Amino acid sequence: MNDARSELAAAGAHLAGLGLSPGSSGNLSMRTESRIYLTPTGTDLARVDPAALSVLDLAGAHLEGPKPSKEFPLHTAFYRRDPTARAVVHLHSRHAAAVSCLPAWSEHSAVPPLTPYFVMRVGQTPLLPYAAPGDSGQADEMEALPFPFRAALLQNHGPVVAGTSMARAVEAAVELEEVSALLLALGGRTPRLLSPAEIAPLTRKYGAPWTGR
């Protein structure tokens, strides 16, 4: 059993344990060179079998294993647009999904810069217009966006997050859920946001993608 398979299964159990993957929602993948290991369709992330993962190439062709999640185009699109990405996490976590149903804060980020940890660990998070789950056109649109990002919200759906490792992708997905909960808790009040002068040193130090409003 290779390490990627075991790491993916452990990440699924962790996210499910945090309550961020209700039922059989959500899907995870890891990239190793030219292969992508992906949770199969209908998988409960609490019970991922590392020996029974779908295997795809970067173009999305199914190479072996069970039928992949129908949302595999989101995963392959992230890997193609960011060669440093080694893991992708897609969840239906409650608060981030709720924020995906609201108007975006800006063209580049659905979520405003509420906390330094959101800027550091996630960065700007665009809102992609609604499409049915598994729609390859939505994945193509995400791949073609002309500005940097490591996370996106799918309108009326939920978050998808990439990372240079599974640990970083999971950390970013958890942080996105937390900042989404904070945004909802503020209700209709106007919060203080981090200023450009406060954001700039965070982006320099942590390499976070933030190109402004």
The residue type found at 175 is E
Residues across the chain: 213
Burial class (CB in 10 A: 0-12, 13-18, 19+), 34: exposed
What's the pLDDT at 24?
A: 85
Catalytic residue among 7, 79, 107, 117: 117
DSSP 68: B
What is the band of 1 on the pLDDT scale with cuts at 50, 70, 90? very low
| Domain ranges, ordered by start, for the chain | 10-31+71-206
Nearest residue to 75 (alpha-carbon basis) of 36, 101, 46: 36
SS3 42: coil
Q: What is the mean pLDDT of the chain?
A: 96
Rounded to the nearest 5 degrees, what angle is found at the Cα of 46, between the Cα atoms of 86 and 137? 50
What's the pLDDT at 212?
A: 78
What is the band of 102 on the pLDDT scale with cuts at 50, 70, 90? very high
Read off the pLDDT of residues 147-157 as tens digits, 9 standing for 90 and up: 999 999 999 99
What is the band of 41 on the pLDDT scale with cuts at 50, 70, 90? very high
The predicted model gives 34-43 an average pLDDT of 95
Read off the pLDDT of residues 47-94 as tens digits, 9 standing for 90 and up: 999 999 999 999 999 999 999 999 999 999 999 999 999 999 999 999
Share of the chain above pLDDT 90, in %: 94
> What class has domain 10-31+71-206?
alpha beta
71 catalytic, yes or no? yes
141 catalytic, yes or no? no
pTM: 0.96
CB 131 within 8 A of CB 156: no
Catalytic residue among 33, 37, 64, 71: 71
11 is written with which tokens?
Answer: 């990440």
In the sheet that holds 127-128, the strands lie side by side as 62-64, 54-57, 35-38, 27-32, 87-90, 158-163, 151-154, 127-128
